[in-house]
Amino acid sequence: MSQVYSPIPLSRPASFVEQAGSALHAEGFSGGLSPRHWVVEQDHIPRAHLVVVETRSGSAALRGTAVKFEAPALLWLPGELEGDIQVEAGARGYFIAISEDLLTRTVAGSAEALHLRRTTDRLVMMSGAQIDGALGAVTHSCSMLVRELRVPQRGSMTMIASHLLQLCLHLWRSAVSDESGSDDTLRGDGPRLVGNFLQLVELHYRDGWPISRYAAALGVTEDRLHAHCKREKARSPRAIVHGRLFHEACTRLQQLDLPVEQIGYGLGFRDSGYFSRFFQKHQGMPPGAYRRRARAEQAKRGPFYAAWP
């Protein structure tokens, strides 16, 4: 049985099932009469993949290298890694596909975020005694993901996030003895650190996080985060956060017929005067004046149809 995973295109407001299904795939397999085969192909939405085999054996072809595994086994493929995975006829286990965005959202608020990303960003394969202690908990979380996607109930989104986080924690705990390199080595990886920072900014730029909180979530000092952002983006962390806020403010002022004060509140500004001063510092004019000018210019160009959720 061959399968290729790709995002589900949505042309209308998505229900919970569609939203979850576009970011997460979870299936159990058990006792088939023929081998099961998955083709992992990445597209514009990178996905990580987890294969858990409770019985029998399987194989994977990754980066031109073929590897075999005997049950119990766990195989984690980070986002952007492609390959073929096959398990024997009669094998029992689970196959999970998780979008990188959902994975980031799942681990971002965890106190162990740095360690979890360190683990989920690399290829992990474990079998036998390496996974025995965690196998029951891992398969339970996998089965819960399958059930919540199949039959959504009240709180399903929270339940799914909880079990995804548990899977990441068990993966980290089981793989920790195999990790190479120190935290300092990881933290010196500038492009990856800045990439993770940008993902956190996208999640929290409206929440008023201080830079110290971003640094703590990433497991680095403010000075180190500042140095890498300056090196990779030629901007300070604060400038990056403020730039994202300013861009969103411009978009909302152009597209929403809400009072300026309400737009500022929606972006995390509890004081309308502070929002006005923040906007004027970046644009050179108050938000109300910017809105009038932007809409006057748009009227000259003709109708504008914006997709706003």
23 and 113 belong to one structural domain: yes
155 and 168 belong to one structural domain: yes
Question: For the domain that residue 126 is a member of, what is the CATH number?
Answer: 2.60.120.280
d(CA 169, CA 217): 16
Predicted pLDDT of residue 44: 74
205 and 231 belong to one structural domain: yes
- Least confident among 3-12, 19-28, 62-71, 83-92: 3-12
Q: Is 272 exposed, middle or buried (0-12, 13-18, 19+ CB in 10 A)?
A: middle
Does residue 1 lie within any of the structural domains?
no
The pLDDT of 257-281, averaged and rounded, is 92
70 and 151 belong to one structural domain: yes
> pLDDT of 149-199, one tens digit each?
999 989 999 999 999 999 999 988 887 654 443 344 334 467 878 888 887
Q: How many domains does the chain have?
A: 3
Does residue 307 lie within any of the structural domains?
no
140 and 284 belong to one structural domain: no
Q: What percent of the chain has pLDDT over 90?
A: 37
73 and 145 belong to one structural domain: yes
pLDDT band at 13 (very low <50, low <70, confident <90, very high): very low
d(CA 241, CA 211): 9
153 and 191 belong to one structural domain: no
> pLDDT of 115-129, one tens digit each?
888 888 888 888 888
Three-class DSSP labels, 123-157: CEEEECHHHHHHHHHHHHHHHHHHHHHHCCCCCHH
> pLDDT of 86-98, one tens digit each?
899 989 999 999 9
39 and 161 belong to one structural domain: yes
d(CA 267, CA 261): 10
153 and 264 belong to one structural domain: no
212 and 128 belong to one structural domain: no
Omega before 72 within 30 of 0, i.e. cis:
yes
117 and 172 belong to one structural domain: yes
Structural domain harbouring 258: 240-301
Does residue 2 lie within any of the structural domains?
no
Does residue 69 lie within any of the structural domains?
yes
Does residue 11 lie within any of the structural domains?
no
The pLDDT of 291-301, averaged and rounded, is 86
Evaluate if residue 79 carries a pLDDT over 90.
no
